[in-house]
Amino acid sequence: MSAEALANEAYAVALAELPGMGPARLRAVLDRWPPAEAWSVVWSGRAMAVGAVADACRPDPAALAVTWRTAAGRVDVADVWQRYRDAGVGVAVLGGDGYPDALASDAEAPAVVCWLGDPAVVQGPRVGIVGSRRCTRYGRDIAFELGHDLASAGVRVVSGLALGIDGAAHSGALSAPGGAPPVAVVGSGLDVVYPRRHVDLWRRVADAGVVFSESPMGAAPEGWRFPLRNRLIAALADVLVVVESRHQGGSRHTVDAAIERDRVVLAVPGPVRSPLSTYPNELLHQGVGPARDVVDVLVALGLAGRLPMPAPVDAGEPEHEPEPDVDGPADPVEVAVLDAVGWEPATLDDVAERAGRSLGAVAAALARLEAAGRVAERDGRWERVAGRSGAIRRRTAPA
């Protein structure tokens, strides 16, 4: 195949795969030359003659020029391109055909974006849901429900496919029958599934919606890629919801990026003693609006008219517990125990003491309530499951 017949995208990904080529350098190179020309400039070692490119390649542009020239000399662009086609990975270059509008307008738009699935699905209202990888049962349930309810209301859920909150939000979105397609942005290359545990979720999101990455294929999930990934989540989200995060958590990057882009940020209130609610509670204190349920988010989107009729969550899903019925338990011990559990994780000692019953009676009641999906145990502590209290059904959107 002659070089002239290859698409711009082929040269773009070949450039992206060069060693030492990050998103900023790639953008600097492609801002200066169209991809095919950029490739021949890099290939002949002349790229650093341009000040903006050399600036992006500090501290040692000369050495990098040699690295690139050497690496490019060994690459057959046609082979590279064939790998993307074989893997079904779509590619678009900033300013070129197929580049998602939602990203094109961003000040830090990636020079090249890759995807699995259908990039057209991003058209429509989008809400980012972010939070800790390690989360509480409460956070996971809220993320799942927001994901489900938003997708039911036709809102695309944007998240990062990480463990914890990210995964719960997308699992929720996928559980909504006929729900809006999910949108994911990942840090690694699209053939490097990370975390491995989410290989199935990753595939389901790609099948039903789209998974974006600005990293070329084969890129490892290196730490520096994730803050960059977070800016894309912020760029894609019309509203960003922080479910649970510690003070220094990665969600902070996403929130900062969202604020820079004038996006609306909402935070899910949590117990003041839970370390994982530190950051959302701090955001609330700073004046960010609360996301108590899907209504708050739809109002922030300006879509209050699309009030959800939350369909019962599909019972076949492994990710969530059976939905408790709205009526309370009938057994008096269970009532006392449920009261004693509260919304903050409590040990068996605490529950028995508050309920004033024997350990055996309390343990049996807890096990029954757990089977009924009303409480859950984690790390030896019991919490109530954030079931739908009926609040959604009772609340009506403000006019």
Where on the chain is the footprint of other proteins (CB under 8 A)?
A: 132-135, 137, 140, 163-164, 166-168, 170-171, 197-198, 201, 273-275, 278, 319, 345, 347-349, 352-353, 358-361, 363-368, 370-371, 377-381
Of 332, 267, 230, nearest in space to 23 by CA? 230
Peptide bond into 59 cis (omega under 30): yes
CB of 375 to other proteins, least distance (A): 12
C-beta of 27 vs 137, nearer to other proteins: 137
C-beta of 378 vs 393, nearer to other proteins: 378
What does the block give as tokens for 286? 């700073």
What does the block give as tokens for 87? 């893997």
CB of 267 to other proteins, least distance (A): 17
CB of 188 to other proteins, least distance (A): 17
C-beta of 27 vs 170, nearer to other proteins: 170
| C-alpha–C-alpha distance, residues 89 and 206, integer Å | 11
| C-alpha–C-alpha distance, residues 202 and 142, integer Å | 20
CB of 8 to other proteins, least distance (A): 37
CB of 144 to other proteins, least distance (A): 8
C-beta of 198 vs 229, nearer to other proteins: 198
The 3-state DSSP class for residue 102 equals helix
C-beta of 168 vs 265, nearer to other proteins: 168
CB of 118 to other proteins, least distance (A): 22
| C-alpha–C-alpha distance, residues 229 and 346, integer Å | 36
C-beta of 257 vs 366, nearer to other proteins: 366
| C-alpha–C-alpha distance, residues 351 and 339, integer Å | 9
| Dihedral angle computed from the Cα positions of residues 214, 217, 222 and 226, in that order, rounded to the nearest 10 degrees | 20
Determine contact, residues 92/9, Cβ cutoff 8 Å.
yes
